Amino acid sequence: MSSPRKDYQNSIYGPEKENYIEKCAGRNYNGPENLVRWTSWKSNNPFAPVWDVPLWYDKFPVEFIDNILDKIYLIEKELGDWKNYNVFSWSDKFPFVNKLLLLLKTMYRWYMEELGYDCPEKIYIRGWLNILEPGESLPVHSHSFHENSFISGNIMLTDSEVSTEYVIPNYSTYFGNYLAEKTKGSVLLFPSWVEHFVPKVNEKRYCLAFDFYTDASIKYLQENAKQFDPMMLSIEC
């Protein structure tokens, strides 16, 4: 009997030729088309693994994204380190920010309601631009994996020849990664702990990434931080 790895010829670090993970047994098809989800089986003993990876997909109008891009082009050379600014603090300069906040907050509520989760009373947000030049890539990473991890997201500002690849626990080892939509305006919300990466690009690629935080997360940071953390730049959503 041949191993699944040989059958599917995949690697969690390399781009996939086919998206076999859509067909694996852990793919959960309950819910609307926006919800793309993989779950583990119910644990029958303390050693059996348990995970739940619900991703929420949506799309913004291209005209709205083009409006954002026009503003980004003007300030691109002045951005500096991604850790030192928050796109969502620019509402006084760029009118698109308030509309974007409203759209993301609405999407977040749909996501939470579909999963049957209570929405925290207050949430905060920080966003930054991920601009890849030809030949660059983004290595495997997660936005956070601690007790206060919450929700993150990506918005494609340009079409891309490669997808952001999401590593689904265990399933990706055998069936490949989830390949997110790579067209302009595509939006994906995901648990902040989920690992993902972008393979090497041949054309310049613009993406807006962001993190949602709960009030408990912000209070924990305020009480325990000993040095600057990008999370301190978050604003209430």
Measure Cα distances from 145 to 9, 109, 151, 195, 217 in Å: 29, 22, 11, 10, 13
Report the 10 Å Cβ neighbour count for 29: 9
- As a whole number of angstroms, the distance between CA 102 and CA 105 comes to 5
Q: What's the pLDDT at 227?
A: 83
3-state secondary structure 15-73: CCCCCHHHHCCCEECCCCCCEEEEECCCCCCCCCCCCEEEEEEEECCHHHHHHHHHHHH
- As a whole number of angstroms, the distance between CA 106 and CA 112 comes to 10
Strands of the sheet containing 186-191, edge to edge, are 27-28, 35-39, 52-59, 186-191, 151-156, 205-214, 123-132, 235-236
Q: What's the pLDDT at 6?
A: 37
- Residue 71, C-beta contacts closer than 8 angstroms, at least 6 positions apart: 94, 96
Between the two ends of the chain, the Cα-to-Cα distance in Å is 53
pLDDT in tens, the chain (237 residues): 333 333 434 444 454 445 689 888 899 988 889 999 999 999 999 999 999 999 999 999 999 999 999 999 989 888 889 999 999 999 988 989 999 999 999 999 999 999 999 988 899 999 999 999 999 999 999 998 888 899 999 999 999 999 999 999 999 998 999 999 999 999 999 999 999 999 999 999 999 999 999 999 998 888 888 888 888 999 998
Q: What's the pLDDT at 8?
A: 37
- Residue 23, C-beta contacts closer than 8 angstroms, at least 6 positions apart: 175
- As a whole number of angstroms, the distance between CA 88 and CA 155 comes to 14
Domains of the chain (ranges plus CATH)? Answer: 4-236 (2.60.120.620)
- As a whole number of angstroms, the distance between CA 20 and CA 178 comes to 9
The neighbouring-strand residues paired with 178 are 166
Kindly tell me the sign of the dihedral angle through the C-alpha atoms of 61, 185, 172, 20: positive
Q: Which of 52, 14, 51, 58 is nearest to 35 (CA)?
A: 58
Contact in structure between 168 and 53 (CB atoms under 8 Å): yes
Global pTM reads: 0.89
